């Protein structure tokens, strides 16, 4: 028996997870650092769905930079103005410092905020360099590649007076957001509302969540690509691929709700609300996982000594053939977007230069360009440093230098909350749901048909919920019936952007910046109301990833409170306020 969609959908908005807010007519200007896939995703979202504008780009690759500028800044026939195009973020930084020194005599225009969309290992340096400028920042995940660096970023973004007295209870003086896009998709926002605010399955007892990475996607990004090697401490694909899945679980099971955007509240009432926004933190974290498939011992005998797909005698019989994945599955169909434009960033320029030719001739030109790139390989004599510096997209997946897990499970447990709320007048603002003991299991798995289409099941005292990337099914123990919810379709460009998460994150960030810059809001209030995630919470969710990896490497169970306390004392030199 299935019931129609529940009434909750009548009041559910797909436009944004954050509360409604009147944006100013004065547009906000943003710098994008890095014109790769993430930089383009956020630029598209800001341009299409907010009142903000992309004003400047910093990108070393000339083709990417020019293409980005034509799409989002100066247009197809225009030319960049002073302060809009830079080969390196350091060049922009020097320009901006000079602009500020000359102000107000200069006519050059600055920016209100920046999107950091560069490779993971560059985030810390960029954040440290930009912090003195007091810009509002959205940084792509992960924040950093070590817990020490994450905590360094936390201290860096504090005001100078707070930096001298490190504590994990302080907030930055500007808006900060992290690319945990799963929090911002309409599907997941509704799922959280059903679980926590409406309590449709009672108290949560257990959650199972899976990220199916996708068989060829994992080979592209984590065997041949930029994220194939773990950090020196061994933190790998759980951090670079699935840190926002663990953040999603924490968001569902222990994060407080966003503050309401009620402008009538007094300063004292706002502070009281902030004090009540306490998370329900895990008790233990454990993990198991390994690199099971993509290693030399699994190499097919027919491949012999070949290290590259172009010269491999078994290439046609291999599922992970780079020729099959990039040429047959994409270029042969005139598809030059991701992942092809990652392998060959200038492939669309190759196609554009032969625009007078037939489509068949364009495809042939693109194929030749692609195959030349796939032929690139390294030998036993190549220095490891040189190997690590770049991806090798034509390399045999069984002869690669990858070492990250392709199968990993993380288990988290919670105790009953030790300080239950005793206020009989409590509302969803200060205590939205009972904070009871529970368990969460996360599974990241590489060889799957589905590609990043998360799925899961939540068990409660009154029923259970199953979900995938489009549907939510609610089974009630009392009625012994199931009601199914399908999220209404979004515009195609939003749907394919993490189910609307990219757009939701961009909207929330721009709204928060607008509230501070144009509406006079306090930073902490705008952060809580619109972004819905503090810097403290972002750092802590990263810390859970590092704890899980430590548990996996050392085959132990991490007791979160003690572990986190020790890490904070070690890195911040003070006693924490984490519990």
CB 122 within 8 A of CB 96: no
Alpha-carbon distances, residue 64 vs 40, 71, 521 (angstroms): 10, 11, 36
CB 84 within 8 A of CB 74: yes
pLDDT along the chain (579 residues), means of 10: 43 45 75 95 96 97 93 90 96 96 76 97 96 96 95 84 51 91 94 92 96 97 95 87 96 76 62 66 97 96 98 97 98 96 92 87 96 97 95 97 97 82 45 76 97 96 95 97 87 81 96 95 92 92 97 97 92 50
The predicted structure's pLDDT at residue 427: 44
Query: Residue 308 gets which letter from DSSP?
Result: B
Whole-angstrom distance, CA of residue 461 vs CA of residue 89: 52
Full-model pTM: 0.89
Whole-angstrom distance, CA of residue 227 vs CA of residue 239: 10
The predicted structure's pLDDT at residue 487: 80
Whole-angstrom distance, CA of residue 533 vs CA of residue 176: 9
With tokens 């020196």, the residue in question is 232
The predicted structure's pLDDT at residue 13: 44
Helical H runs in 449-500?
492-495
Whole-angstrom distance, CA of residue 281 vs CA of residue 250: 8
Per the structure block, which two tokens stand in for 55? 């004003």
Secondary structure (H, E, C), 348-362: HHHHHHCCCCCHHHH
Residue 210: strand pairing partners:
443, 455
Can you point out the beta strands (E) in 34-154? 53-58, 85-86, 113-116, 136-139
Helical H runs in 237-316?
237-240, 243-253, 267-275
Render the burial of 303-341: b for 16+ CB within 10 Å, e for the rest: beebbbbbebebbeebebbbbbbbbeebbeeeebeebbb
Kindly state the helix (H) or strand (E) to which residue 564 belongs, with its residue range: helix 560-572
Whole-angstrom distance, CA of residue 398 vs CA of residue 224: 10
Ramachandran bin of 318, using left for φ above 0, alpha for ψ from -120 to 50, beta for the remaining angles: beta
Whole-angstrom distance, CA of residue 41 vs CA of residue 493: 10
Kindly state the helix (H) or strand (E) to which residue 411 belongs, with its residue range: strand 407-414
Whole-angstrom distance, CA of residue 315 vs CA of residue 324: 8
Pairing, β 471-476 against β 558-559 = unpaired
Residue 339, preceding bond cis, omega within 30 degrees?
A: yes
With tokens 């922009």, the residue in question is 92
Terminal Cα-to-Cα distance of the chain (whole angstroms): 44
Q: What is the dihedral of CA 268, 274, 277, 281, to 10 degrees?
A: -130
CB 219 within 8 A of CB 294: yes
| Long-range contacts of the stretch 91-100 (C-beta < 8 A, 24+) | 91/58, 92/31, 92/33, 92/56, 92/58, 93/129, 93/130, 93/133, 96/133, 100/133
Domain assignments of the chain as residue spans, ordered by start? 296-388
């Amino acid at each position: 028996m299935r019931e129609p969609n529940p009434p909750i959908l009548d009041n559910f908005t797909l436009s944004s997870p954050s509360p409604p807010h009147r944006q100013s007519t004065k547009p906000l200007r943003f710098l994008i650092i890095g014109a790769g896939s993430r930089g383009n995703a956020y630029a598209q979202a800001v341009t299409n769905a907010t009142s903000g504008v992309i004003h400047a780009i910093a990108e070393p690759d000339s083709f990417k930079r020019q293409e980005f500028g034509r799409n989002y800044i100066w247009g197809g026939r225009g030319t960049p103005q002073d302060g809009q195009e830079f080969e390196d973020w350091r060049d922009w930084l020097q320009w901006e410092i000079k602009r500020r020194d000359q102000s107000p005599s200069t006519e050059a225009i600055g920016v209100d905020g920046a999107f950091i969309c560069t490779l993971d290992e560059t985030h810390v340096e960029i954040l440290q360099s930009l912090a003195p400028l007091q810009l509002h920042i959205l940084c792509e995940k992960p924040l950093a590649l070590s817990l020490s660096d994450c905590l360094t970023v936390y201290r860096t973004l504090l005001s100078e007076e707070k930096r001298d007295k490190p504590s994990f209870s302080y907030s930055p003086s500007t808006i900060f957001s992290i690319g945990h896009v799963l929090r911002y998709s309409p599907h997941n926002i509704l799922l959280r509302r059903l679980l926590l605010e409406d309590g449709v399955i009672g108290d949560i007892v257990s959650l199972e969540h899976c990220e199916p990475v996708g068989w060829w996607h994992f080979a592209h990004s984590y065997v041949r690509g930029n994220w194939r090697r773990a950090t020196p401490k061994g933190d790998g694909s759980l951090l670079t691929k699935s840190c926002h899945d663990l953040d999603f679980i924490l968001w569902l099971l222990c994060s407080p709700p966003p503050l309401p955007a009620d402008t009538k509240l007094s300063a004292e009432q706002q502070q009281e609300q902030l004090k009540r926004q306490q998370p329900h933190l895990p008790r233990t974290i454990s993990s198991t996982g390994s690199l099971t498939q993509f290693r030399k011992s699994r190499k097919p005998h027919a491949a012999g000594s070949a290290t590259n797909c172009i010269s491999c005698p078994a290439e046609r019989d291999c599922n992970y053939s780079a020729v099959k994945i990039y040429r047959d599955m994409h270029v042969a169909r005139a598809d030059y977007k991701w992942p092809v434009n990652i392998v060959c960033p200038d492939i669309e320029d190759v196609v554009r230069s032969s625009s007078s030719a037939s489509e068949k001739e364009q495809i042939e030109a693109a194929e030749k360009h692609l195959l030349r790139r796939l032929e690139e390989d390294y030998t036993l004599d190549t220095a490891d440093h040189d190997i690590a510096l770049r991806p090798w997209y034509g390399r045999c997946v069984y002869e690669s230098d990858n070492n990250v897990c392709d199968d990993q499970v993380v288990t988290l447990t919670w105790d009953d909350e030790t300080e239950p709320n005793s206020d009989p007048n409590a509302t969803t603002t200060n205590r939205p749901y009972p904070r009871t003991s529970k368990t969460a299991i996360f599974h990241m798995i590489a060889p799957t048909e589905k590609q990043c289409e998360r799925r899961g099941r939540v068990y409660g005292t009154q029923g259970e919920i199953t979900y995938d990337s489009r549907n939510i099914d609610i089974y009630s123990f009392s009625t012994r019936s199931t009601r199914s919810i399908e999220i209404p379709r979004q515009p195609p460009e939003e749907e394919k952007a993490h189910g609307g998460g990219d757009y939701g994150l961009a909207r929330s960030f721009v709204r928060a910046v607008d509230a501070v810059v144009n509406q006079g809001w306090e930073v902490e209030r705008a952060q809580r109301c619109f972004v819905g995630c503090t810097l403290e919470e972002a750092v802590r969710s990263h810390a859970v990833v590092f704890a899980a990896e430590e548990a996996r490497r050392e085959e132990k169970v991490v007791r979160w409170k003690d572990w986190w306390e020790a890490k904070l004392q070690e890195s911040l030199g003070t006693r924490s306020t984490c519990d």
